[in-house]
A and B are shown apart, each in its own frame.
Chain A
Amino acid sequence: MSLWETLRIALNALARNTLRSFLTALGIIIGVGAVIAMVAIGEGAKARVEQAFASMGTNLLIVSPGSSSTRGVFGGSGSMPTLTWDDLRAIREEVPSVRIAAPQLRSSAQVVSDEENWTTSIYGVTPEYFDIRSWAMASGAAFTASDVDTASKVAVVGQTVVEKLYGSGADPVGRVVRIRNMPFQVIAVMARKGQSPMGQDYDDGVFIPVSTYRAKIQGGLQTYIAGSIFVGAISADATSRAEREIRSLLRDRHRLAPEVDDDFQVRNLTEIASAQQEGTRTLTTLLASIAAVSLLVGGIGIMNIMLVSVTERTREIGVRMAVGAKPRHIRAQFLVEALTLSVLGGITGVGLGLLAAGRLAAQFGWPVQVRPDIIIISLVFSGLVGIGFGLYPAHRASRLDPIEALRYE
């Protein structure tokens, strides 16, 4: 007897009790639907975190000054300056796992165009900074090392600033903005980068050469860096090594005794990102295991109904045996029936899960991401549930004594 034949018999048997079949499969439908939707939500959250960190920069470490005696409490960048320009050069030149390093000085200032004004962050940076943060220009070209050398009054502006000063879609390259009443020529507009993982708008800022910044915007103390150092490691794997090497270099340079805490801070963005991802992964696993439990409960439901079905159809089993069905035919019949129930439930569940994920994405703007492998896995798993929980009822059916079965009322 062919598998197709068995499948046809199973489908007929299931169709005879449509409502019951549906209710039995409902456990699997909900289980699989939940798995698909939950994982889609989890993956969406993970992707959002990943993207947010990727937009901060590649293989990024941020070295900032600060007092370690109040670890965890930030005085704010520059509030306790400890990093020197020599430190920056040393990081750039002496640490092998560092590809590039750039300063980032920051203060808030009003920027005025011909039409509008906007208070935003002014950053003093070097050209390497754009590289570290993998920040492309939407139009124009960023300033170069010679602009830094000559402390030219040029500015690279973010998209938000462009919108506020010139209206969206405008290209202000070549125009002049006034920062603290000094004219700067806009030479480039940066590509849009969006939000930081903490919700800060990256595009709300104006970038000028660090030398110009030090001469015109900043005042006072000049030996220390009134900001932080952005470091690009040579690879993603090297970020932890870079972190260690920078730490020991700076401790050395700052002549810190072994028992003294660091007077600076090194933040490894790659590690923070992976920690965050770990968090979302835990969440996904948790959601998926809850869903898996409901799948298991669905399997028990199938077993229950299959046992009822075997009892109800005892006479049918007897007739089939009398006309020549072997035990394995009977076993296959009920096993395929359970399998059909669970796989059809699984397929419906996938559809339902996708629908739910789509609705969540559309209605609440949740970032959902459907993983095709999860669809395959949950279908296979629901099939396994069908086989696992169908095996015992099928076995029981196949062991019936035909004489008893034929006499069963």
Chain B
Amino acid sequence: MTAQPLIVVDRVTRIYRMGDVEVRALDGVSLEVAAGEMVAIMGASGSGKSTLMNLLGCLDRPTSGRYLLDGKEVSAMTTDELAEIRNRTLGFVFQNFNLLSRTSAAENVELPLVYAGVPAAERRRRAAEALQRVGLGNRVGHHPSQLSGGQQQRVAIARALVSEPRVILADEPTGNLDSRTSVEVMALLKGLGDAGMTVILVTHEPDIATYAPRVIVMKDGRIEADERKEAVATAGVPT
């Protein structure tokens, strides 16, 4: 059993200033996620789920409160340190894939490794492996424009997992996909969770959320519900 949860969010607030108006996007959110958990964050737009996601993804810093990722205090980190955390510990999957156009699938997948300073040969090998893992081993040289939406999202997932991060953050990963490919992509993410990666996904679709054993519902910047469906499945997953 891990002594400390992988993610500890402790009474975090995030306040945006828009001119004279203060917007409390997060209002005292506390949350713990153990290593290997798969969590879905749900909520209407404006509920603060995207803000929470940005904070968890180290793209943003809380106005107050603490965020510990793998035992490290993230809220006090510099921009460069945050970049390193994103590079090594986190992997992102976006709703609109966010692949670099006119760049091959392999090169897209290599991108995190480029900034991690991995030598070119090893990069290529690991990118090919990651693409193999998402079932695109035969699409290495294809450009995003030559791939279907589902394939593009799988490339994005390969990019997220190529650096073998602790946490995969997926922000509406199926938002731009039809229901059939959504199933494929979710199966892939579920597979990563089963293999021991912590997966946090943001969605507003209840049937997508059902893939996750734990569902957190946000409303007005607060956690409204935090439910574990099958308590047995989440605890004690070996990492």
Interface residues of A (CB under 8 A from B): 1-2, 5, 12, 16, 315-316, 318-329, 402-403, 406
Contact present for B115 and A318 (CB under 8 Å): no
User: Which of A16, A315, A326, A406 is B115 in contact with, Cβ under 8 Å?
Assistant: A326
Answer whether A323 and B84 are a contact pair too, CB < 8 Å, given A1-B114, A1-B115. no
Query: Smallest distance from the beta carbon of B106 to chain A beta carbons, Å?
Result: 14
Nearest 7 CB-CB pairings of A with B: A324-B87, A324-B115, A323-B112, A326-B83, A319-B98, A326-B80, A402-B59
Contact present for B59 and A323 (CB under 8 Å): no
A contact residues around B59 at 8 Å (CB): 321-322, 402-403, 406
Task: Give the interface size class of chain B.
Answer: 20 to 34
B contact residues around A16 at 8 Å (CB): 102
Query: Smallest distance from the beta carbon of A318 to chain B beta carbons, Å?
Result: 7
Contact present for B57 and A322 (CB under 8 Å): yes
Q: Known pairs A320-B115, A322-B59, A322-B98. 9 more at Cβ < 8 A?
A: A1-B115, A1-B117, A5-B114, A322-B57, A323-B112, A324-B86, A324-B87, A327-B79, A403-B60
Query: Smallest distance from the beta carbon of B176 to chain A beta carbons, Å?
Result: 14
Query: Smallest distance from the beta carbon of A87 to chain B beta carbons, Å?
Result: 84
Nearest-neighbor residue (CB-CB) of A328 within chain B: B80
Docked CA distance A339–B82 (Å): 28
Answer whether A320 and B111 are a contact pair too, CB < 8 Å, given A1-B117, A326-B83. yes
A contact residues around B60 at 8 Å (CB): 403
B159: interface (CB < 8 Å): yes
B92: interface (CB < 8 Å): yes
Docked CA distance A12–B83 (Å): 24
Contact present for A322 and B86 (CB under 8 Å): yes
Nearest-neighbor residue (CB-CB) of A326 within chain B: B83
User: Which of B54, B79, B115 is A323 in contact with, Cβ under 8 Å?
Assistant: B115
Nearest-neighbor residue (CB-CB) of B102 within chain A: A16
Answer whether A324 and B116 are a contact pair too, CB < 8 Å, given A16-B102, A318-B98, A406-B98. yes
Docked CA distance A309–B59 (Å): 23
Docked CA distance A327–B83 (Å): 9
B94: interface (CB < 8 Å): yes
B contact residues around A321 at 8 Å (CB): 59, 83, 86
B88: interface (CB < 8 Å): yes
Query: Smallest distance from the beta carbon of A325 to chain B beta carbons, Å?
Result: 5
Contact present for B102 and A406 (CB under 8 Å): no
Docked CA distance A402–B60 (Å): 9
Docked CA distance A366–B100 (Å): 53
Query: Smallest distance from the beta carbon of B2 to chain A beta carbons, Å?
Result: 25
Nearest-neighbor residue (CB-CB) of A324 within chain B: B87
Contact with A along B75-97 (1 / 0, CB 8 A): 00001100110111000101000
Docked CA distance A318–B92 (Å): 12
Nearest-neighbor residue (CB-CB) of A399 within chain B: B79
Query: Smallest distance from the beta carbon of A91 to chain B beta carbons, Å?
Result: 79
Query: Smallest distance from the beta carbon of A311 to chain B beta carbons, Å?
Result: 16
Docked CA distance A321–B114 (Å): 12
Nearest-neighbor residue (CB-CB) of B54 within chain A: A403
Contact present for A324 and B100 (CB under 8 Å): no
Contact present for A325 and B83 (CB under 8 Å): yes
Query: Smallest distance from the beta carbon of B117 to chain A beta carbons, Å?
Result: 6
Segment 97-132 of B: residues with Cβ below 8 Å from A: 98-100, 102-103, 111-112, 114-117
B contact residues around A327 at 8 Å (CB): 79-80, 83
Greatest chain B CB density within 10 A among A315, A318, A322, A406 is at A322
User: Which of A2, A320, A324 is B84 in contact with, Cβ under 8 Å?
Assistant: A324
8 contacts between A and B (CB under 8 A): A1-B114, A2-B117, A12-B103, A320-B115, A327-B83, A329-B115, A403-B60, A406-B94
Contact present for A324 and B112 (CB under 8 Å): yes
Query: Smallest distance from the beta carbon of A203 to chain B beta carbons, Å?
Result: 68
Query: Smallest distance from the beta carbon of A37 to chain B beta carbons, Å?
Result: 37
Nearest-neighbor residue (CB-CB) of A2 within chain B: B117
A contact residues around B115 at 8 Å (CB): 1, 320, 323-326, 329
Nearest-neighbor residue (CB-CB) of A313 within chain B: B100
Query: Smallest distance from the beta carbon of B158 to chain A beta carbons, Å?
Result: 12
B contact residues around A406 at 8 Å (CB): 59, 94, 98
Query: Smallest distance from the beta carbon of B32 to chain A beta carbons, Å?
Result: 24
Nearest-neighbor residue (CB-CB) of A404 within chain B: B59
Nearest-neighbor residue (CB-CB) of B112 within chain A: A323
B contact residues around A402 at 8 Å (CB): 59
Query: Smallest distance from the beta carbon of A15 to chain B beta carbons, Å?
Result: 9
Contact with A along B169-204 (1 / 0, CB 8 A): 000000000000000000000000000000000000
Docked CA distance A1–B99 (Å): 20
Answer whether A316 and B100 are a contact pair too, CB < 8 Å, given A324-B88, A325-B115. yes
Greatest chain B CB density within 10 A among A5, A316, A319, A320 is at A319
Contact present for A324 and B83 (CB under 8 Å): yes
A contact residues around B87 at 8 Å (CB): 323-324
B contact residues around A316 at 8 Å (CB): 100
B contact residues around A328 at 8 Å (CB): 80
Docked CA distance A12–B163 (Å): 24
Contact present for B86 and A323 (CB under 8 Å): yes
Docked CA distance A5–B84 (Å): 18
Greatest chain A CB density within 10 A among B54, B59, B84 is at B59
B contact residues around A323 at 8 Å (CB): 86-87, 92, 111-112, 115, 159
Nearest-neighbor residue (CB-CB) of B78 within chain A: A326
A contact residues around B98 at 8 Å (CB): 315, 318-319, 322, 406
B contact residues around A325 at 8 Å (CB): 83, 115
Nearest-neighbor residue (CB-CB) of A16 within chain B: B102
Contact present for A319 and B100 (CB under 8 Å): yes
Nearest-neighbor residue (CB-CB) of B120 within chain A: A5
Answer whether A322 and B92 are a contact pair too, CB < 8 Å, given A5-B114, A316-B100, A403-B60. yes
Nearest-neighbor residue (CB-CB) of B169 within chain A: A322
Docked CA distance A402–B54 (Å): 10
Nearest-neighbor residue (CB-CB) of B118 within chain A: A1
